[in-house]
Structure 1
């Protein structure tokens, strides 16, 4: 393909999400100097998209030049357009990319199922990408995102922003400093009850589509469904298999992040999930996933067991923390790292608790200061520093989380994982769930 064709032609020719064989990134990348402002576009401006946008734009080195949302109401595109009146506005992200000469970086804060379809062509056009967690909707998409970032030499960051909070940074530092010695096992959990629907059937009928909502654009690559008020847009999509990744997908990239970061984990060797049978369209109300990882320099054996629990009120069994002071109760969400010299509790968004072996009280810890996850990406895109959750890190983390959602479909079946080949050699029946089909006309070119 010639380097002189338009972005519109490239996107039409290569497929809506791909551009995997498209123009070299250098054709469209703007070389930024230390004094240049990063020109940013935001796709998805309501809910988390709003805080992502405001977080990135907090940097004085950022200029918001484009905004995109399928909902023009005051809670979505309207509010963003009011705050950034000089930015161009769009309902269709494809048109934004077709007119992206004034954009250096793209924030992708859509529902999970549209993360890869928007991010991949943006990267192919040489745009730096900040994408919400989980990075993608499928394992295959996550691998493609990682490859695209490397191939196009763009700066990336996943929106697991708690990684940059003092709590998680302190936990990682404690493990790296050897405070609990080599880690023998890990238990992570989310015992809260999400507000989005779970374990229900899709309701019949439809409701009038609000005048502010472009429903066809919201559905994007997913199967076409009738609009139902409050059921999908703007938030409850998380509970639907077509759009979200359930409780594990929602929280796994947060809660398992300090586990991955501190122990330097990569891909699991195998996993076994236990969960009730899935309804046809929604995720379950509970799941337990047992991963086995290769050992690292921070673990005590050749392998490491990491167990994930998500169910209302469910935490690791009592025997896991029986050695801790009786006065201590596990938080509602977090991780327990059991080491040779002690135990580290990493609550979800709270300071870690260090209990050394044989001690009756919590040990003092040295706190590590927070950094700004959003500004870090913007600075790195301008050549200052490095992001800590670039796709070469957050991609494998996301793959592990999404492998758990595959396992949930096959309860009590151990799935051996060949990460290099992206295969499940002992149970090929699960392999189709590593990817998915796409709505006609929206098929990515890299399928």
Structure 2
């Protein structure tokens, strides 16, 4: 059951407001104010509670679930019943939740992509720590704003790239950085899913009584309700999601970013069917160019999804989704759960480097600990922001007819002005970041 508000919470709320004005880190104030915070439970609000969100709610359910929010009353009531011991307050509109729940410590955002930034940013502006599902945002501009704000105000943040906490990714990073396959040349990334296709519906079925459709649309331009948008199918539609690249890019490209210490690409091009104004393609190829880092020379990375996915690479059969690192001494094929050095006969005597990256205490646990103690997370927004921008730039190159040359410092495409229309979007009245 939720504890009554403690005196420290009043202090933290006041300190958070002061920090926003003075530019002082909220978490820095919080950490200095309370030495026993690790032994207390966080008061958390969850925005989005079913489907993908259900795992996130479960992941933080060891804390106090003070408030639950969803635009679907059936989902909301189901979650409230499942976690009845928390006696959570229920909301349909996250704006109302954030206005009323003054004493919450942190927020978990698990909505469709187009409302990630409004919910997360509003929460951070109130001094709340944030866990947000991937991709971090719907637009590049939103990603940069959230990254900068979270870093400036020292808030505990984590992107929902849960596989990052797995042991295998750590062992891949160690092996790549130890030079297992020599100097890096290029990388292939592919995912067999195909979120794309579809036409704008012309019928106007009634909105189900349990669905608050206008709240689901949030900052997106108004359109009539249709079951083709929800649940899950919103990923196909540019107004709400980013197709397969938007869905899975942060999971698989994450490994490449981590291993090679990448940040922003300089050039991006894309190949696919003629772009549709409303929906993502069923298959897409994106080519990225990255500058050198302290562990890798300048490299190229090729993303393929849907019906563009490869069956084999360099004569080696590959699974439906994965990452292939190419070095001057061989290749490394990696999936979520394992990795293989290729050609295998060349690596019979290979020994893994000594473990240097500690195993994770758990993706949610990292964030909870960070909220309480100010410790780092492995997918904080300062890491996940550039990762998200990279993913979104692939869709921008495709939709604008690319290729594009990216000036990360100015947040602008320098060679193709038509692409800049996709960097930021206009919100409906009543919505903002």
- Kindly tell me: are residues 441 and 362 of structure 1, through their superposed partners in 2, closer, same or farther at Cα, counting changes over 3 Å? farther
Matched, 1:334 2:322: yes
Q: 2:377 aligns with which of 367, 387, 394?
A: 387
Match of residue 321 from structure 1: 314
- 1:221 aligns with 219
Partner of 2:149: 148
Greater mean alpha carbon deviation, residues 79-88 or residues 352-361? 352-361
User: Deviation per CA, 1:63-91, whole angstroms, max 9, x where unpaired?
Assistant: 11111011110xx2122211333111111
Cα deviation, residue 355, structure 1? 2.6
2:97 counterpart of 1:77:
no
Give the alignment of 1:149-168 within 5 angstroms: 149-168=150-169
Per-residue deviation, 1:26: 4.5
Aligned residues of 1:270 and 1:416 also touching (Cα < 8 A): yes
Equivalent pair of 1:354/1:364 in contact (CA under 8 Å): no
Whole-angstrom CA distance in 1 between matches of 2:21 and 2:235:
32
> How is 1:20-419 mapped onto 2 (pairs within 5 angstroms)?
26=26, 33-58=37-62, 62-73=63-74, 76-85=75-84, 86-194=87-195, 198-229=196-227, 231-299=228-296, 301=297, 303-312=298-307, 314-315=309-310, 320-322=313-315, 329-347=317-335, 349-355=336-342, 359=346, 365=352, 369=359, 371-383=361-373, 385-411=375-401, 413-419=402-408
1:10 maps to: none
TM score, norm. by length of structure 1: 0.85
Equivalent residues, number: 409
Q: Distance in 1 between matches of 2:22 and 2:76?
A: 30
Residue 418 of structure 2 corresponds to residue 429 of structure 1: yes
**Maintained 8 Å contact 1:106/1:128:** yes
- The answer as to whether partners of 2:187 and 2:324 remain within 8 angstroms in 1 is yes
Secondary structure of 1:290's partner? strand
1:97 to 1:442, Cα distance in 2 relative to 1, 3 A: same
Following TM superposition, by how much is the alpha carbon of 1:361 offset from its aligned partner in structure 2, in angstroms? 6.0
Q: 1:190-232: per-residue Cα shift (whole Å, max 9, x none)? A: 12344xxx22220102111111111111110011111112x11
Secondary structure of 1:277's aligned partner = coil
SS of equivalent residue, structure 2 residue 60: helix
Q: Do the aligned partners of 1:65 and 1:102 also contact (CA within 8 Å) in 2?
A: no
Structure 1 Cα separation of the partners of residues 274 and 330 of structure 2:
38
Taking a change above 3 Å as real, the CA distance of residues 360 and 179 of structure 1, as seen in their structure-2 partners, is closer
Match of 1:13 in 2: none
Are the aligned partners of 1:355 and 1:361 in contact in 2 as well (CA < 8 Å)? Answer: no
Deviates more, 1:78-87 or 1:398-407: 78-87
**Deviation per residue, 1:337-380 (Å, 9 max, x gap):** 01122211112x22111236862769565787454101110111
Q: CA deviation at 1:181?
A: 2.1
- Aligned-partner Cα distance in 1 for 2:21–2:146: 14
Contact 1:25 1:123 in 2 (8 A): no
2:23 & 2:257 partners in 1: Cα distance? 34
**What residue in structure 1 maps to residue 16 of structure 2?**
none
From the superposition, tell whether residues 338 and 26 of structure 1 become closer, same or farther in structure 2 (CA, over 3 Å).
Answer: closer
Q: Which runs of 5+ in 2 are unaligned?
A: 1-12, 14-19
- Secondary structure in 1 matching 2:59: helix
Shift of residue 145, structure 1, vs aligned partner:
0.6
Q: Would you say the 8 A contact 2:194–2:243 is kept in 1?
A: no
Question: Shift of the alpha carbon at 1:21?
Answer: 7.8
**Partner secondary structure for residue 234 of structure 2:** helix
**Is 2:331–2:341's contact at 8 Å kept on the other side of the alignment?**
yes
Whether the aligned pair in 2 keeps the contact of 1:275 and 1:284 (CA below 8 Å) is: yes
Gaps of 5+ in 1: 1-6, 8-19, 323-327
CA distance in 2, matches of 1:275, 1:129: 35
Q: Is the 8 A contact 1:124 1:152 kept in 2?
A: no
Q: Residue 166 of structure 1 contacts residue 351 of structure 1 at CA under 8 Å; is this kept in 2?
A: no
Q: 1:313, 1:360 → 2: CA distance?
A: 30
The structure whose residues are more often helix, as a share, is 2
**CA RMSD between the two structures:** 2.7
